[in-house]
């Protein structure tokens, strides 16, 4: 017999799926980054935070470009080999910012000399910072939103408050960026649901083009190694995001656990009407076919929408 929580998730899934198909159609986008849309770390393997869930391991795996000249050179090479775009990311300062300001003149040159789509993970910013990012020609921004100061303190080791995220999101909207894509990490608070619904509430201060739901991945060698997320928790937040933001796309981002957990997340979330999946598993394809969905595939970052890529 189903438990109360299982029945609740089943009902949420049906409501979210029906709304998704009504608003966005019976199709799903699968995103493959690979060589066509690589991520570049502006700080190399350096980060002032050394967060408990990451330990600098994610950025250390990325292509480095730690000064403006190197970034231009790197992007010219990427453009020359037929890449579609690039995601600029990197470690954060103690203020929760990716130090992108010093690279904005380089971004202008890249936009002048190539056809690359340029996206950026920015961390926190303000009105002036958002306007500079917009004027540099960056096509879209992604911001990780943490709904609880306690979670930020526990995992990031710094104080970040809801108003800091609200200020950042509104600054990008005010600057006129068309693609503002908040990210919510399910299970960031030691594997359990804690901050996620508040994060969605914070995001509601704007009309996001796309909300990306990711999940804690237990990276080896980090303090949170071995902490597993529940696929049902990810599905619950996907459903909540869909119901709270009917006009926005809801996408599963590339970070969402490993192995069987990742496959079950894909299965549950496709069934719940998620609009996109980054680096889909075989389970995502299987679930999409069972639901009778048209599958659109893109060699691009999942922060982009089909509208951006056509």
User: How many Cβ atoms are within 10 Å of 2's Cβ, its own excluded?
Assistant: 9
Domain assignment of residue 209, yes or no: yes
Residues 6+ apart with CB under 8 A from 303: 87, 119, 140, 142, 179, 181, 210, 212, 251
DSSP 210: E
Does the CA dihedral 8-10-218-305 come out positive or negative?
negative
Domain assignment of residue 306, yes or no: no
> DSSP H helical segments within 85-193, as ranges?
104-113, 127-136, 149-151, 162-175
**Average pLDDT of 114-135?**
98
Task: Note the Cα 220 to chain centre separation in Å.
Answer: 21
Asked whether residue 1 carries a pLDDT value surpassing 60, the answer given is no
Q: How many domains does the chain divide into?
A: 1
User: How many Cβ atoms are within 10 Å of 77's Cβ, its own excluded?
Assistant: 11
pLDDT in tens, 137-177: 999 999 999 999 999 999 999 999 999 999 999 999 999 99
| Local confidence band at 308 (pLDDT 50, 70, 90 cut-offs) | confident
Domain assignment of residue 205, yes or no: yes
Domain assignment of residue 307, yes or no: no
pLDDT in tens, 203-227: 999 999 999 999 999 899 999 999 9
* Percentage of residues in the chain having pLDDT higher than 70: 99
Domain assignment of residue 304, yes or no: no
Tokens (6 digits) for 152: 């930020």
User: How many Cβ atoms are within 10 Å of 263's Cβ, its own excluded?
Assistant: 19
Tokens (6 digits) for 100: 């992108």
Task: Note the Cα 228 to chain centre separation in Å.
Answer: 19
| Predicted local confidence at residue 33, as pLDDT | 86
Kindly report the average pLDDT of the chain as a whole number. Answer: 96
Q: How far apart are CA 130 and CA 24, in angstroms?
A: 29
Domain that holds residue 87: 4-298
Q: How far apart are CA 119 and CA 140, in angstroms?
A: 5
* CB neighbour class for 111 (10 Å; exposed up to 12, middle 13-18, buried from 19): middle
Residues 6+ apart with CB under 8 A from 42: 65, 66, 71, 88, 89, 90, 98, 99, 100, 103
| Local confidence band at 34 (pLDDT 50, 70, 90 cut-offs) | confident
Domain assignment of residue 191, yes or no: yes
Domain assignment of residue 310, yes or no: no
Asked whether residue 2 carries a pLDDT value surpassing 70, the answer given is no
**CATH number of the domain encompassing residue 258:** 3.20.20.70
Q: How far apart are CA 270 and CA 195, in angstroms?
A: 23
Domain assignment of residue 48, yes or no: yes
Tokens (6 digits) for 5: 């929580």
């Amino acid at each position: 017999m189903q438990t109360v929580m299982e029945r609740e998730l089943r009902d949420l899934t049906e409501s979210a799926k029906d709304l998704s198909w009504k608003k966005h159609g019976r199709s799903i986008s699968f995103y493959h980054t690979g060589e066509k849309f690589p991520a570049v770390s502006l700080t190399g393997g350096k980060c002032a935070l050394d967060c408990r869930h990451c330990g600098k391991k994610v950025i250390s795996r990325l292509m480095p470009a730690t000064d403006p000249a190197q970034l231009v050179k790197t992007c010219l090479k990427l453009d020359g080999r037929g890449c579609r775009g690039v995601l600029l990311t990197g470690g954060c300062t103690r203020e929760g910012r990716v130090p992108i300001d010093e690279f904005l003149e380089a971004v202008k040159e890249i936009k002048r000399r190539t056809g690359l789509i340029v996206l950026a993970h920015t961390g926190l910013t303000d009105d002036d910072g958002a306007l500079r990012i917009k004027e540099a020609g960056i096509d879209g921004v992604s911001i990780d939103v943490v709904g609880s100061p306690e979670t930020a303190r526990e995992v990031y080791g710094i104080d970040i408050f809801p108003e800091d995220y609200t200020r950042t999101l509104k600054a990008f909207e005010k600057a006129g960026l068309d693609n503002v894509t908040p990210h919510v990490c399910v299970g960031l608070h030691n594997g359990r649901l804690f901050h996620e619904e508040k994060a969605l509430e914070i995001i509601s201060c704007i009309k996001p083009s796309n909300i990306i739901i990711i999940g804690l991945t237990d990276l080896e060698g980090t303090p949170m190694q071995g902490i597993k997320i529940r696929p049902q928790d990810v599905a619950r937040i996907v459903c909540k995001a869909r119901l709270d933001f009917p006009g926005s796309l809801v996408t599963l981002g590339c970070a969402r656990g490993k192995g069987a957990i990742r496959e079950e997340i894909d299965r549950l979330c496709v069934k719940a009407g998620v609009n996109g999946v980054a680096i889909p598993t075989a389970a995502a394809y299987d679930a999409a076919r069972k639901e009778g969905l048209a599958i659109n595939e893109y060699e691009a970052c999942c922060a982009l929408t089909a509208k951006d890529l056509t």
